[in-house]
């Protein structure tokens, strides 16, 4: 496939054959090497062939091969001629990250660190086959699907302030549970308020470096050593089932003929099936918001119990990593509504966007990019340039470079725990094998990913955080 170098960090697959637009890849030559090893570029090209795609098929710096769309793929579609695709959102709908700040310092918690982590591990259900706290009725679940984090706050999990600091205020209003299958509901009932497994985690962190003092201050970060909390999880089995159901419904209705990849299946946005997927997806997004809201609340409770207070614990922000949203963007000089698919990508709205919480509006939105287990994570800020460069999107994480199988061959969970301990990082997990699969060396260098984001201008560095305690599902 032809790949043209535009700058050191921008690459292009020119429009050719049945592509409707070109594809743009944001990567350093080192990141590009790993991208070339799998099907990422081919998948970005396939996305460029979809009906109604606008401007470009974008690939973020942490991209790797996905299903249909690449992970780290961003594409916007025309509201009349365009499509919506469950494979463009991903199976874990609204897999996302929440970041909390506190007034504690590393020293304040140093003797209690182990206890804090152990208590969080007790309070937050994690791992496979672990149910949440309550046996929900279907009606309550449907309420959660409509209201998202708002439901959680109404039911005593956290505060209204948390909602203000969440994308969509923790609730996508277009949500409708009417076209969600019984099977998806059944999978959602036992899993509300659970972290899950795989790459999902909860970390107690400390601020390690501040790149932009003024912006850090705006986001509640004052100094190195400040204790932060990061929660990474999604919509669990409910979201996965919604994705599977709609891939199938679209296949049954529209067929798979001519599709280079079955998970590129899509429906016109304006069609009833497209609309039903969108509304169901919004409901799954809400489930994930409620999930993270509940988990954050339990973390707050643990701090009160162990430290005597949750001193200054406030939500910095909560971002979606797998989602499709209808947003206004300027295309060829005109402001238009488009359906932006971000699959393994973070929205990075710059200053002035009405969607951003008022407290941040003149600065741009916080962008939270988790690293791999035991490595740095980053807080960035959305930029005005990102609008033109990537429909206001940037990376979402480190991105794997090694298969889980290979990681298991090379690493042992206990060995990783010991190595982390030497670096002053406590680890709690439901499975050592799971820990080995998530070995830091199995991931791309997140430092390089955020450097590219910063230099290209799709999300600028504000601060980095490193873990002191890691809980893995």
Partner 1 sequence: MAEKFRFLDHTADAKFQAYGRTLEEAFVNAALATVSLMWNPEEVDPRLSHPIDVEGRDLEQLLVHFLGEIIYLLETRSFLAAAVDDMVIEKTDKGFRLRAACRGDDRPTRYSIFGEVKAVTYNEMRIELGCPVTVQVVVDI
Q: Which residues are identified as catalytic?
A: 396
Task: Give the number of other Cβ atoms within 10 Å of residue 33's Cβ.
Answer: 11
Of the candidate residues 115, 251, 448, 455, the single one contacting partner 1 (CB under 8 A): 251
Contact segment (CB under 8 A) with partner 1 among 109-117, 185-193, 368-376, 383-391 equals 185-193
DSSP letters, 410-452, are: H--HHHHHHHHHHTT-EEEES-HHHHHHT-GGGB--HHHHHHH
Choice between 62 and 212, CB closer to partner 1: 62
User: Is residue 176 a contact point for partner 1 (CB under 8 A)?
Assistant: no
Of the candidate residues 430, 453, 464, 466, the single one contacting partner 1 (CB under 8 A): 430
User: Is residue 432 a contact point for partner 1 (CB under 8 A)?
Assistant: yes
Choice between 262 and 311, CB closer to partner 1: 262
Contact segment (CB under 8 A) with partner 1 among 18-26, 47-55, 385-393, 430-438 equals 430-438
Contact 289, 148 (CB under 8 A): yes
User: Is residue 187 a contact point for partner 1 (CB under 8 A)?
Assistant: yes
Write down the residue that tokens 């990141």 correspond to: 31
User: Is residue 92 a contact point for partner 1 (CB under 8 A)?
Assistant: yes
User: Is residue 191 a contact point for partner 1 (CB under 8 A)?
Assistant: yes
User: Is residue 101 a contact point for partner 1 (CB under 8 A)?
Assistant: no
CB of 153 to partner 1, least distance (A): 26
Pull the structure tokens for residue 186.
């059944």
Of the candidate residues 61, 434, 467, 469, the single one contacting partner 1 (CB under 8 A): 434
User: Is residue 61 a contact point for partner 1 (CB under 8 A)?
Assistant: no
Residues with Cβ < 8 Å from 405, sequence gap 6 or more?
none
Write down the residue that tokens 């799971």 correspond to: 434
3-state secondary structure 11-54: EEECCCCCCCCEEEEECCHHHHHHHHCCCHHHHHHHHHCCCCEC
How many amino acids of this chain bind partner 1 (CB under 8 A)? 49
3-state secondary structure 156-167: CCCCHHHHHCCH
CB of 437 to partner 1, least distance (A): 7
User: Is residue 253 a contact point for partner 1 (CB under 8 A)?
Assistant: no
- At residue 299, what are phi and psi to the nearest 5 degrees? -60, -40
In this structure, what is the dihedral angle of CA atoms 151, 234, 91, 267, given to the nearest 10 degrees?
40
Contact 368, 230 (CB under 8 A): yes
Task: Give the number of other Cβ atoms within 10 Å of residue 405's Cβ.
Answer: 9
User: Is residue 138 a contact point for partner 1 (CB under 8 A)?
Assistant: no
User: Is residue 50 a contact point for partner 1 (CB under 8 A)?
Assistant: no
Of the candidate residues 1, 128, 304, 441, the single one contacting partner 1 (CB under 8 A): 128
User: Is residue 400 a contact point for partner 1 (CB under 8 A)?
Assistant: yes
Of the candidate residues 12, 38, 108, 301, the single one contacting partner 1 (CB under 8 A): 38
User: Is residue 415 a contact point for partner 1 (CB under 8 A)?
Assistant: no
User: Is residue 67 a contact point for partner 1 (CB under 8 A)?
Assistant: yes
User: Is residue 65 a contact point for partner 1 (CB under 8 A)?
Assistant: yes
Closest CA to 163 of 293, 335, 57, 287: 293
Choice between 16 and 252, CB closer to partner 1: 252
* DSSP H or E stretch at residue 254: helix 236-254
CB of 265 to partner 1, least distance (A): 9
User: Is residue 181 a contact point for partner 1 (CB under 8 A)?
Assistant: no
Question: Rounded CA gap, 126 and 197, in Å?
Answer: 7
User: Is residue 198 a contact point for partner 1 (CB under 8 A)?
Assistant: yes
List Cα–Cα distances, 347 to 172, 391, 470, in angstroms.
15, 8, 26
Choice between 129 and 308, CB closer to partner 1: 129
User: Is residue 262 a contact point for partner 1 (CB under 8 A)?
Assistant: yes
User: Is residue 25 a contact point for partner 1 (CB under 8 A)?
Assistant: no
User: Is residue 71 a contact point for partner 1 (CB under 8 A)?
Assistant: yes
Question: Rounded CA gap, 445 and 453, in Å?
Answer: 13
Choice between 375 and 383, CB closer to partner 1: 375
Choice between 177 and 207, CB closer to partner 1: 177
Question: Rounded CA gap, 213 and 223, in Å?
Answer: 9
Pull the structure tokens for residue 137.
């009725």
377 burial level (CB within 10 Å; 0-12, 13-18, 19+): buried
Choice between 237 and 467, CB closer to partner 1: 237
User: Is residue 473 a contact point for partner 1 (CB under 8 A)?
Assistant: yes
The contact set with partner 1 (CB under 8 A) reads 37-38, 64-68, 71, 91-92, 127-129, 131, 183, 186-187, 189-191, 196-198, 237, 240, 243-244, 247-248, 251-252, 261-263, 399-406, 430-434, 437, 473
């Amino acid at each position: 496939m032809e790949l043209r170098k535009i700058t050191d960090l921008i690459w292009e697959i020119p429009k050719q054959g049945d592509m409707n637009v070109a594809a743009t890849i944001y990567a350093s030559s080192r990141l590009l090497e790993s991208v070339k090893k799998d099907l990422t570029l081919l998948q970005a090209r396939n996305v460029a062939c979809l009906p109604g795609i606008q401007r470009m098929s974008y690939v973020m710096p942490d991209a790797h091969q996905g299903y249909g769309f690449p992970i780290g793929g961003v594409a916007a579609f025309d509201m009349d001629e365009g499509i919506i695709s469950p494979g463009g959102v991903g199976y874990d709908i609204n897999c996302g990250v929440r970041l909390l700040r506190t007034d504690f310092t590393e020293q304040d918690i140093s003797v209690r660190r182990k206890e804090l982590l152990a208590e969080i591990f007790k309070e937050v259900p994690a791992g496979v086959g672990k149910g949440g706290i309550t046996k929900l009725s279907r009606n309550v679940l449907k309420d959660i699907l409509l209201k998202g984090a708002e439901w959680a706050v109404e039911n005593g999990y956290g505060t209204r302030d948390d909602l203000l600091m969440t994308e969509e205020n923790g609730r996508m209003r277009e949500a409708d549970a009417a076209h969600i299958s019984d099977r998806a509901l059944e999978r959602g009932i036992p899993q509300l308020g659970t972290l899950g497994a795989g790459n999902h985690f909860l970390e107690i962190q400390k601020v390690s470096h501040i790149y932009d003092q003024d912006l850090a201050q705006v986001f509640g970060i004052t100094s190195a050593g400040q204790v932060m909390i990061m929660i990474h999880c999604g919509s669990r089995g409910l979201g996965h089932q919604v994705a599977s159901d709609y891939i199938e419904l679209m296949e049954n209705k529209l067929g798979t003929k001519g599709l280079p990849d079955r998970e590129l299946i899509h429906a016109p946005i304006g069609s009833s099936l497209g609309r039903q997927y969108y509304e169901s997806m919004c409901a799954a997004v809400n489930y994930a918001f409620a999930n993270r809201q509940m988990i954050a609340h339990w973390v707050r409770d643990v701090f009160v119990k162990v430290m005597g207070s949750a001193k200054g614990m406030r939500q910095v922000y909560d971002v979606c990593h797998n989602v499709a949203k209808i947003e206004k963007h300027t295309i060829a000089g005109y402001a238009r509504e488009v359906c932006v698919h971000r699959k393994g990508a973070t929205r990075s709205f710059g200053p002035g966007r009405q969607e951003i919480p008022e407290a941040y509006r003149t600065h741009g939105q916080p962008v939270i990019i988790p690293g791999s287990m035991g490595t740095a994570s980053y807080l960035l800020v959305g930029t005005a340039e990102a609008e033109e460069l990537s429909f206001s999107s940037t990376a979402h994480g480190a991105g794997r470079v090694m298969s889980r199988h290979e990681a298991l061959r090379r690493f042992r969970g206990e060995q990783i725990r010991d190595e982390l301990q030497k670096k002053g990082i406590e680890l709690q997990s439901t499975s050592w094998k799971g820990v080995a699969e998530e070995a830091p060396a199995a991931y791309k260098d997140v430092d390089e990913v955020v450097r590219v984001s910063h230099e290209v201008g799709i999300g600028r560095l504000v601060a980095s955080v490193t873990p002191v305690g890691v809980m893995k599902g």
